[in-house]
Structure 1
């Protein structure tokens, strides 16, 4: 493609964005005085425009900015609003919970109900709760090191597990390195972590054979660098090798919950030792959770006997609060149901088919990948097999151009890469509108 033309088109979309959003621009300028980078959370700087949009309201699968523009929302808070924004089946009863107390450091019946439901969906009998998936991952790794007596963690290149220090490693030319942008790590993560390529069983076995790895922390399908599926037999090999070398397997299903009510664990009949969740579990209310096998839970409980449970480095004052657990119960009971997931997957199939048709008609060397109701397109001919290939499929001009072209015409995708997520509130008309606009973007190129 003509890179000069893409640059010109991108500048045009940036100019259109600035003209359309004077109030957001004014707020962004004002924010420079009190918010580092002009945003309350660093990742908000990753949007493709010259400044971020400021939110007015969000409902269902739509959001509106402070300039009055309404968008079809396929970002859904990067999975946090996979239920759709403020689903009525949850919000109405949550309002009642507001009058009944939010947190008291006492268990509620909702906590037991959610644990029982998650046990049924994912097959792990014991559960604990946090305020985020990051917290859940941190707790899982602490427990794994305590139970195994081993110091190290293994992750896959291109992974993402929140702000867990051990996960900030990457491969550069096949050499492990602290990940670019890793801000103020407490220690060099190479001291705590091994990293190998996804779908490379030989490298995986080589890393585990030294028997110093407490846990492999991974998604069952990589999602942070585009959707990278496991090769046939790789997950079975992963489970076999972790058992062979005495390493615990921790599956992070925060994003891959889109695969169904029990995520990939139920869909692919996986058997993790620990499993972590977050984001969508509470319809946007902060919550995380981690499940434990019976063997791990019993060993963990034994370690916590005595007066030191509150200083073990696991948990927090607001974890398992009454409000978050009520939100999780209502979400699981009324929103993230079998029927909802079936509909979301059908919409994902429709989204994928629409984008593939445009790519095929234009003869472009791009591809589309899907997991349940999650769909992404990358700018390489075939689906990536590992993190390196997926990262090579991202484009510093095409990524922001596609994002801004759609945004300026009323469709919001994730800012990090072109991911679209379906919710129970998403409609076929919304999916078709994206396909129409995607075709226009391709034609302009």
Structure 2
């Protein structure tokens, strides 16, 4: 396979950088004026956008984003899954307007009928019978971890290297040389040594999972059905069923986080692959862009929690550290009901997955044509290319395939031609408003910008 000429890559990147800077003067000016924002952005990760400054939003609808300089883009980032339903889907907007307007009462500390509807719908899709709501999947993970520790009486959580569970402290771990968990590079001031709270294994390596569980102190295996924030790393045949068997044998709970893998289908990977979690977490996408999250638990887990609360060991009603004043508010539950009931439907997922399959085939055709040593993976409505062939089988392998310069070139080149990819990696997500023409545009543009590397 031909290797990339790094001097040519640098030249192409410089050209795309200059075009980006020239074409976005208003975005650049707003960034430079933002002296009261830490990092000059509302949240520091927004500096992950390539180009030295992020685009500034003017408006967005469906799968189109328009920046303050008047450029409109086909959006495959979709809020990194937060806008999987599309930007401002009509049903969600109507529900939010109704709750904020005619009905009134955005947040009151009172339940609404919408919450029960959403709980029943989540059970129908994912199987968990009992649900609580949050404002993010990070919160859902944090609170569910506490409940897992309560239910089992065990202190540690088992995660996988380069997993993604929001900003949960326990998840920023890698296996150390002695097998103990150590902090991932760049982890911001972990409150305790990761070895105190966490055990860590390697994805697709059941032996590493069993070795971690053998200590007898793991409350829950916290995992995505496929790794996602380090590129899509799919599970080997039998790996997820192996996790279920090992969790049961070693007395740990299996906690499935589908914040990103909901793209796998109407009922996520949990339904598509017949997974059997004890605890289930989801967020971002189910509210159509309104902050929300949820976690579901089995009746067996609920019974274990109740035994402890009845005995006075914990208080999940008042001061126990589970819950937030705005969690389950009237606005977010209205948004979830509309999004799940009218937008992210079974026909919508069929459409989205079909387009992702076409997207994946288009990328593969370019890789084959130019004999590029990359791979592309698909997870339902989501697809991603990675700078490795064959496709990585673990988080460690995927992390080793990172190439910041190549990443910047691809993101800027696509952006300059009207396509937005997820800033953190090369993920593309389809929404109900995505069209075949949008996918074909990416296929043609991807061929152009990759071909330029080998000209």
TM-score (norm 1): 0.98
Q: Secondary structure at the match of 1:242?
A: helix
SS in structure 2 of the partner of residue 232 of structure 1: coil
Tell me which residue corresponds to 2:295: 290
Q: What corresponds to 2:326 in structure 1?
A: 318
- Pick from 67, 70, 73: which aligns with 1:71? 73
CA distance in structure 2 between the aligned counterparts of 1:252 and 1:396, rounded to whole angstroms: 28
User: Does residue 240 of the first structure (1) align with residue 245 of the second (2)?
Assistant: yes
5+ residue gaps, structure 1: none
Aligned equivalents of 1:441, 1:322: Cα separation in 2: 46
Alignment of 1:358-373 (within 5 A): 358-373=366-381
1:154 aligned to 149, 155, 158, which one?
158
The runs of at least 4 aligned residues of structure 1 exceeding 3 Å deviation read 171-176, 301-308
C-alpha displacement at 1:337, in angstroms? 0.6
Equivalent residue for 1:9? 12
Deviates more, 1:86-95 or 1:307-316: 307-316
Pick closer, same or farther for the CA change 1:37–1:113 going to 2, 3 Å: same
Post-superposition shift, 1:174? 8.2
Q: How has the CA–CA distance of structure 1 residues 172 and 365 changed in structure 2, closer, same or farther, with 3 Å as cutoff?
A: farther
Q: Does the Cα contact within 8 Å between 1:80 and 1:284 map onto a contact in 2?
A: yes
CA contact (8 A) 1:279 1:288 kept: yes
Please give the secondary structure, in 1, of the residue aligned with 2:87: coil
Question: Alignment partner for residue 170 of structure 1, among 154, 174, 193?
Answer: 174
1:350-377 CA distance string (max 9 Å, x none):
1001111111111111111000010000
Q: Deviations over 1:365-409 (max 9, x none)?
A: 111100001000011111111011111222121111101000011
Distance 1:221 1:336, change over 3 A: same
Does the CA-based 8 Å contact 2:374-2:389 persist in structure 1? yes
Distance (Å, rounded) in 2 between the aligned partners of 1:84 and 1:22: 27
Q: Is the 8 A contact 1:286 1:324 kept in 2?
A: yes
Separation in 1, partners of 2:316, 2:408 = 50
Q: CA separation in 2, counterparts of 1:174 and 1:364? A: 37
Unaligned runs of 5+ in 2: none
Instruction: Tell me whether 149-158 or 175-184 shows the greater mean CA deviation.
Output: 175-184
Match of 2:83 in 1: 81
**Alpha-carbon shift at residue 301 of structure 1 (Å):** 3.2
Q: Render the CA deviation track for 1:13-50: whole Å, top value 9, x for unaligned.
A: 1111110000011001001x101111010110111111
Q: Does 1:257 align with 2:262?
A: yes
- In 2, are the aligned partners of 1:76 and 1:421 still within 8 Å (CA)? yes
Query: How far apart are the structure 2 equivalents of 1:145 and 1:324?
Result: 28
Contact 2:162 2:172 in 1 (8 A): no
Distance 1:14-1:172 versus aligned 2 partners, 3 A rule: farther
Comparing 260-269 with 308-317, which one deviates more in the overlay?
308-317
1:413 aligns with 2:421: yes
Match status 1:114 vs 2:122: no
Match of 2:134 among 120, 130, 134: 130
Aligned equivalents of 1:274, 1:57: Cα separation in 2: 37
Are 2:316 and 2:322, in contact at CA under 8 Å, matched by a contact in 1? no
My pick for the range that moved more, 282-291 or 162-171, is: 162-171
Pair 1:335 & 2:350 matched:
no
Task: Find the aligned partners of 1:192 and 1:184 in 2 and give their Cα distance.
Answer: 15
Which has the larger displacement, 1-10 or 296-305?
296-305
* Residues 83 and 423, structure 1, Cα contact 8 Å, conserved in 2: yes
- The yes-or-no answer on 1:20 pairing with 2:28 is no
Of 426, 429, 450, the residue aligned with 1:442 is 450
Q: Which of 247, 262, 273 does residue 278 from structure 2 map onto?
A: 273
TM-score, with length taken from structure 2: 0.96
* CA pair 435-172 structure 1, distance change in 2 beyond 3 A: farther
User: How far 1:93 moved relative to its partner?
Assistant: 2.7
Q: Which moved more, 1:336-345 or 1:164-173?
A: 164-173
